[in-house]
Amino acid sequence: MTGLLVGAVFGAVFVVVNAQSPLNPVAAILLKVAACLAAVGVLAMWFVSARSERSAEEAQPAEGARRNMFGRGYLVVVAEAILLFGGIRVLAIWGRPEEANVAWVALVVGVHFIALAPIWKEWGIAVPGVVLTVLGAAGLVLASTTAIAWVPFVSGVLSGIVLLTGSVVLGWRAVTARTP
């Protein structure tokens, strides 16, 4: 659930920061409100899940060691940070428009999910990873066209919606699966 909470927060940030012109101002506000409500919903599910886990652990202590998601394979995150910030710097050096930055972020985050799927043995995160990678690549292409104003929507807002939708759906499944 913690991973879902992180995904929801980043998804909300993607939407709140990027829901802007050329979107209709009312649509932009509605998207921002919906994104924040979705993130709050995932936060609520996180608390419910944490309380359920605590109750289950108290009733029956865990037999095995808890799986650590921050093992050697988590070095992928270090590589992601280098790619993320280094790539944005390279885009600036190449004179790419600022809108390309959000596309680059979406692309790197998508690749990050794809790379972590086999490490964590959580194949479900590869799906949003592929979608974010495609949205990021599409935004990089759009940044070279007259449709550049739509890059924040395509690579930012849509990527945020993917992260939020995945977090809400998987969080709901997790919470309802634990409820007797």
119 band by pLDDT with thresholds 50, 70 and 90? confident
Percent of the chain with pLDDT over 70: 86
The two three-digit tokens of residue 43, written as one number: 């936060």
Q: How far apart are CA 123 and CA 136, in angstroms?
A: 20
How many C-alpha atoms does 68 have within 13 Å on its Cβ side?
Answer: 6
pTM equals 0.84
**Cα 93 versus chain centre, distance:** 27
Residue spans of the domains in the chain: they are 2-178
Total number of residues shown for the chain: 180
The 10s digit of each residue's pLDDT in 156-172 is 999 999 999 999 998 89
Cis peptide before 25 (omega within 30 of 0): no
Average pLDDT over residues 82-106: 94
Average pLDDT over residues 58-80: 61
- Asked if the model's pLDDT at residue 85 lies above 70, the reply is yes
More confident residue, 162 or 79: 162
Average pLDDT over residues 53-57: 61
Q: How far apart are CA 81 and CA 143, in angstroms?
A: 22
58 band by pLDDT with thresholds 50, 70 and 90? low
